[in-house]
């Protein structure tokens, strides 16, 4: 992956029982999928702040990013710690933050959203209601990513 190529980022906001609040997709430039995943977490937490969320459950299917956000030892590339540090700086805006790793099979809706990002103009798409092409996958993700760390 070239840092000159745009990638799509998808993010979803829901209550802990899976009820949809909103979602979005945007694009950025990344040199690796790991950089893209770290940037996706940062974009998601910024959006949650804009939505005035106070209790945040942050899920990612990138285990190294999750471990870095939790302050655990990880083999995340040192190049991406700047993104992690910026993400951590947003934690102050939330009353409660729970971080968890979700298997990719339980996070497929975010990847579908990332494919709907307009990488030609870097404009975000925001969805106040689940698009028809996403509803079935949201239900599947809820079933496969039933995290119990709340």
Residues paired with 60 in a beta bridge: 101
Residue tagged 């000159």 (tokens): 4
**CATH number, domain containing residue 44:** 3.30.420.10
Give the pLDDT score at 148: 42
Q: What local confidence, expressed as pLDDT, does residue 145 receive? A: 56
Region 106-126 average pLDDT: 82
b/e for 108-131, b at 16 or more Cβ within 10 A? bbbbbbbebbebeeeeebebeebe
Does 148 reside within a domain?
A: no
Count of structural domains within the chain: 1
Q: Which of 73, 78, 71 is nearest to 32 (CA)?
A: 78
Q: Give pLDDT tens digits for 44-102.
A: 999 999 999 998 888 888 899 999 999 999 988 888 999 999 999 999 999 999 898 88
Question: Which residues share a beta bridge with 100?
Answer: 59
The domain in which residue 92 lies consists of 6-142
């Amino acid at each position: 992956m070239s840092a000159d190529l745009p990638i799509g980022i998808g993010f979803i906001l829901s209550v802990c029982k899976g009820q949809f609040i909103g979602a979005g997709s945007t694009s950025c430039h990344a040199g690796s999928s790991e950089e893209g995943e770290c940037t996706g977490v940062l974009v998601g937490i910024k959006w949650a702040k804009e939505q005035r969320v106070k209790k945040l459950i942050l899920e990612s299917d990138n285990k190294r990013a999750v471990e870095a956000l939790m302050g655990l030892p990880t083999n995340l590339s040192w190049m991406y710690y700047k993104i992690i540090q910026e993400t951590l700086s947003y934690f102050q805006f939330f009353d409660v933050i729970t971080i968890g790793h979700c298997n990719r099979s339980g996070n497929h809706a975010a990847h579908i959203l990332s494919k709907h990002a307009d990488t030609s103009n870097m404009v975000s798409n925001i969805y106040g209601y689940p698009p028809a092409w996403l509803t079935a996958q949201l239900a599947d993700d809820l079933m496969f990513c039933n995290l119990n760390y709340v």
